[in-house]
């Protein structure tokens, strides 16, 4: 089911809540400049194993409202907190991809865990995001030809072959975002540094990262593993920045192993 949650006056986030009867909850935070649909190949599988899967579109992206401001890690983490409070989530797994991983880190540290029992960082943009050079190039492209920028992002995102229809779908996912929010997140990715936050993460943490990642280098995953207590790093040998798709079967198995088996929700027989 899909619904909206108010995170501040005039701003609602879209939430996709799949298998609410699942015995274990995984909250997914998408990457820039995408939305919750990027996890289609997790949502196809994990709910059938008994998990409740929740996808949240950040402000400015996907189906969520698109205010002009609020595109910094603290506000984005506060948005997630508002959703967690509204849904009364406790003892859940928080999984963030790329920039979503940075938001997940900020959320866990800012809220002293915030109900998170385990953390999954997927090709995460941490401790840092884009270099100043990369950010300048992407910002210029975003403000002048955003569609062409999305084409370039798609070209370097995956390690394995993707079909043209898949690439078209992926590009359109990015184009659903507002132009101003797309640009604002580039600036955020240029400016933040989460190094000091990493040692404050006190929940078991799984780091999944493609060794061929051309967006966030694998060396940053190794740095995170050194700095985050109780963390483990699983390299994906045949993945780029999109390990959730490049090696989707392995990815889903690793997630299931880390989260733990869920009880299959009983079938409801129509009366």
Ranges of residues in the chain whose predicted pLDDT is under 70: 263-271
Q: What is the pLDDT of residue 262?
A: 75
> How far is 205 from 211, CA to CA, in rounded Å?
18
Side-chain-side CA neighbours of residue 112 (13 Å) = 0
Residue 52, classed as helix, strand or coil, is strand
Q: What is the pLDDT of residue 228?
A: 98
> How far is 45 from 260, CA to CA, in rounded Å?
15
Match 């050079």 to its residue by tokens: 133
Quote helix, strand, coil % in the chain, to nearest 5. 45, 20, 35
Q: Are the beta carbons of 130 and 186 closer than 8 angstroms? A: yes
Q: Are the beta carbons of 81 and 29 closer than 8 angstroms? A: no
Q: What is the pLDDT of residue 268?
A: 41
The catalytic residue positions are: 98, 213, 241
Residue 140, classed as helix, strand or coil, is helix
- Residues constituting the chain: 271
> How far is 269 from 271, CA to CA, in rounded Å?
6
**Domain locations in the chain as residue ranges:** 2-259
CATH 3.40.50.1820 fits 2-259, yes or no: yes
Q: What is the pLDDT of residue 1?
A: 86
Whether the bond into 127 is cis, omega within 30 of 0: yes
Buried/exposed 49-60: b ≥16 CB within 10 Å, e otherwise: bbbbbbbbbbbb
State the pairing for strand pair 11-18/51-56. Answer: antiparallel
- Mean pLDDT for the chain? 95
Measuring CA to CA, how many Å separate 108 from each of 41, 46, 221? 26, 23, 18
Measuring CA to CA, how many Å separate 26 from each of 55, 59, 154, 255? 9, 20, 26, 10
């Amino acid at each position: 089911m899909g619904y909206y949650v108010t995170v501040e006056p005039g701003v609602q986030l879209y939430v996709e809540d799949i298998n609410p009867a699942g015995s274990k909850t995984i909250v997914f935070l998408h990457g820039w400049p995408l939305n919750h649909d990027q996890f289609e190949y997790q949502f196809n599988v994990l709910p059938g194993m008994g998990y409740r899967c929740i996808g949240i579109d950040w402000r400015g992206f996907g189906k969520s409202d698109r205010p002009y401001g609020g595109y910094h890690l603290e506000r984005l983490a506060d948005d997630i907190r508002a959703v967690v409070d509204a849904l009364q989530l406790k003892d859940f797994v928080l999984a963030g991809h790329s920039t979503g991983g940075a938001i997940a880190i900020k959320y866990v540290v800012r809220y002293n865990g915030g109900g998170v029992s385990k953390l999954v960082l997927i090709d995460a943009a941490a401790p840092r995001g884009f270099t100043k050079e990369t950010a300048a190039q992407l910002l210029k492209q975003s403000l002048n030809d955003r569609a062409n920028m999305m084409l370039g992002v798609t070209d370097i995102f995956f390690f394995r072959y993707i079909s043209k229809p898949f690439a078209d779908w992926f590009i359109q996912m990015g184009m659903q975002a507002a132009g101003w929010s797309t640009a604002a997140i580039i600036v955020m990715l240029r400016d933040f540094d989460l190094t000091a936050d990493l040692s404050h993460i006190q929940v078991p943490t799984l780091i999944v990262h493609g060794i061929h990642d051309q967006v966030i280098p694998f060396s940053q995953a190794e740095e995170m593993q050194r700095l985050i207590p109780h963390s483990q790093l699983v390299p994906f040998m045949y993945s780029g920045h999109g390990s959730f798709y490049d090696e989707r079967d392995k990815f889903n198995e690793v997630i299931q192993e880390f989260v733990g088996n869920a009880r299959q929700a009983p079938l409801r027989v129509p009366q």
